[in-house]
Amino acid sequence: MLEVSGITRVFGGVTALEDVSFTIRQGAITGVIGPNGAGKTTLFNIITGIYSRTSGRVLLEDRDITGLPPERLAHLGMVRTFQNIELFGTMSVLENVMVGLHTKSSSGLLACSLKMPWSIAEERCIRKTATKWLEFTGIGELAGDTAGNLSFGKGRLLEIARALAVEPRIILMDEPAAGLNSQETLGLAHLIGKIRQMGVTVVLVEHDMELVMDVCDRIVVLNLGKKLAEGTPREIQENREVIAAYLGDE
Amino acid sequence: MKRELLKFLLFAVLILVAPLAFKGGYLLNVLVFVGINTMLAVALNLLLGYAGQISLGHAGFFGIGAYLSGVLTATCGWNPWLAMPFAALAVGILAGLIGFPILKLKGHYLAMATLGLGIIIYIVFNETVDLTGGPSGLSGIPNFAVGSLVFDSDIKNYYLVWTFTLAVVLFSVNLAGSRVGRALRAVHDSEVAARVMGVNVRLLKVQVFALSAVICSLAGSLYAHTMTFISPVSFGFNFSVELLTMVVIGGLGSVYGSFLGAALLTLLPELLRGAQDYDIVIYGGLLMVMVMFVPGGLVRGIPDLFRRMARLREDAGNA
């Protein structure tokens, strides 16, 4: 599904990532973990086209997507969420999800301004589909609220609803549980399971070990910019090198 | 959807009957300018209020529209109805070409680049004396005409200009509530998230910049053919700033707010005429008060004021 091979990224004199390679399977939930500064977010930003890489390649279903900008990746079925939530704060909750349907609609500037019949029909369809996604993530009753006024937890759900509206084949979530209370984290784990059931491949960067061990099929561990280990949650929990990286060498 | 249409119809009726209140008179001439300035403010608002991209050079596009229309008709003998769309097309292409490189810039840098653009255009108007008449201006621009009906009086020009202005208002209201309008606001709120959602931000910015410039050009043509005389001072940096002020005072991201801003800033100098030299002071003071206490602009500030007054009255009733 997604193949990362030999990704290296150098910032000035600092090597943030060095020759990182792994493969993500279709339909699986994969966790990327590692201590602070391991390069998880940098890796995410490279895969999703926000940063450029120094060397290496990224393949999405055997297609080379290295260096493609995020707007192209959305059309190819890859979407992401952000650690600090990037909502469209002045817009309503429903409108946020409606933007997520941008790639699923096509009315241009003139057709929209002149209210062509097809653009009116399309608008109705966008509204209906967006409402469906809000209900899927359980925040349907907030449709009319201003996105900027949402609590962090609800904002996170909105961000996921908006990402799902793109109808991705793979969704990358950057620390989705950050800032959530335990109740909300439980809801998130359930939601991630529901997303997988739809056949969407999920990749998580996450600090919350309980969540990672609970929902992930496979885990990739990064440390100091290099891949340290890869395997099932059980294998990772028993891996000496991983334990050493997290707890320090004794 | 229905509410937007109702709002527009109400606005249109208000505009259509407004001249009855003035019975000709000098103010009617000012109302023609309110129409032209509304077009310009709405155009700038699409760029600044919706997409969040600043321009300090919009008076330049207004000027190119006016001068192209003026020169093509007064010097080359074209029909104004032909010169206007030609000018708009030329300005649209120009803005698209310039937009591609400069809209890569953000914030202060974009402000500086568009400022430079406006100044260059202003200098060209002044220096190409053979073509534009230079600082002394270009005169003898013909009025619009349909058959034997020549738009040569204030009342005729009022309805002519406002027909275009209302069309631009409706066009912009439609755009704002649409897929493309949402994408514009999304770019304003979070450019990176908009890109992740598949919005081609670069192209969208250029599109709205060009659209905004085209509307300014149309306003310029209307200005040239209603005034019949144009000179560079109308299209300088000061006017770009005035447009920006209209948009901010009226309310960023509100089409009707732009009308309020344009109306206030066009009528105010006329109303302050009695204050003679002090009008600039009053004008400046008003701006400061507005920005400090009503940052959302008139369109949000006025309803807010009513709400507050209602609450005060309620409190007084309870006491």
Q: Is residue B312 part of a domain?
A: no
* Domain region containing B117: 2-236
ipTM computed for the complex: 0.92
Residue of B nearest to A49 (CA): B196
Do B192 and A70 count as a contact with CB atoms less than 8 A apart? yes
pLDDT tens string A87-128: 999 999 999 999 999 988 888 898 888 888 898 999 999 999
Give, in order, the Cα–Cα distances in Å from B155 to each of B22, B26, B144, B162, B226: 10, 11, 13, 11, 11
Q: Is residue B251 part of a domain?
A: no
Average pLDDT of span B214-218: 97
Instruction: Classify A3 as helix, strand or coil.
Output: strand
State how far residue B141 is from chain A, nearest Cα, in angstroms.
Answer: 31
- Considering only CB atoms, which residues of chain A are within 8 Å of chain B? 48, 50, 69-71, 73-75, 79-80, 82, 86-91, 95, 98-100, 102-103, 105, 107-109, 112-115, 119, 122-123, 126, 162-163, 166
B251 or B273, which is more confident? B251
Do B179 and A98 count as a contact with CB atoms less than 8 A apart? yes
Q: Is residue B308 part of a domain?
A: no
Q: Is residue B297 part of a domain?
A: no
pLDDT tens string B40-70: 999 999 999 999 999 999 999 999 999 999 9
pLDDT tens string A1-27: 899 988 889 888 888 888 999 999 999
Instruction: Give yes or no for a contact between A145 and A118, defined as CB atoms under 8 angstroms apart.
Output: no
Do B182 and A105 count as a contact with CB atoms less than 8 A apart? no
Question: Which range among A8-12, A34-38, B189-193, B245-249 has the greatest average pLDDT?
Answer: B189-193
State how far residue A171 is from chain B, nearest Cα, in angstroms.
Answer: 11
Judge if A1-77+169-180+201-250 and A86-167 fold alike in CATH terms: yes
- Mind giving me the DSSP string for A6-55? EEEEEETTEEEEEEEEEEE-TT-EEEEE-STTSSHHHHHHHHTTSS--SE
A1-77+169-180+201-250 placed in CATH 3.40.50.300: yes
B259, B251, B283: which is closest to B270 by C-alpha?
A: B283
Domain ranges of chain A: 1-77+169-180+201-250, 86-167
Q: Is residue B192 part of a domain?
A: yes
Distance of CA A113 to the CA centre of its chain: 33
Residue of B nearest to A168 (CA): B197
pLDDT tens string A45-81: 999 999 888 888 999 998 999 989 999 999 999 999 9
Number of domains comprising chain B: 1
Residue of B nearest to A159 (CA): B193
A-chain residues near B186 (CB < 8 A)? 88, 91, 99
pTM assigned to the model: 0.91
State how far residue B201 is from chain A, nearest Cα, in angstroms.
Answer: 8
CATH class of the domain comprising A86-167: alpha beta
Q: Is residue B194 part of a domain?
A: yes
